[in-house]
Amino acid sequence: MSSLPEPIWPVVLLAFIQVVDGVLCIGPVRFIAQCFEDVHFPRTYWWVTPPLKFAAAAGLLAGIWIPYLGAVTCGALVLYFVVAISMHVRARDFGRNLLVNATGMLVLCVATLVFAFLR
């Protein structure tokens, strides 16, 4: 396992996606609110998602210079999306949100972890 990412670009890309996702979770925008409702995520906790996304982005970017932080953050994102997928399955929400959004992000996080840290 590499203590610092190599190459860096997948980590930067994933951090950028997390920032965009965090911005979209402020409010949140309509399709994210619908996703939260579809998986029965309590509205009282919706406010938690933007700080989590921004913290993930910060951890990934800081991990470019701080050994292992990026890998740990990337691993945490993998777990986050495993939980998200399990929430979709539990709610029997097998549509676009599960197949494209949650599964796609899980694949992207796993690929970043493997490609940038585990090679």
Q: What is the full per-residue pLDDT of the chain (119 aa) written as tens digits?
A: 778 999 999 999 999 999 999 999 998 999 999 999 999 999 999 999 999 999 999 999 999 999 899 999 999 999 999 999 999 999 888 877 777 888 999 999 999 999 999 97
Token pair of 115, please? 């490609």
Token pair of 51, please? 């700080």
Long-range CB pairs of 31-36, under 8 A, 24+ apart, other chains included: 35/97, 35/101
pLDDT value at residue 9: 97
Q: Residue 69 contacts by C-beta under 8 Å, 6 or more apart in sequence?
A: 59, 62, 63
pLDDT value at residue 1: 77
3-state secondary structure of 2: coil
Residue corresponding to tokens 């996703």? 35
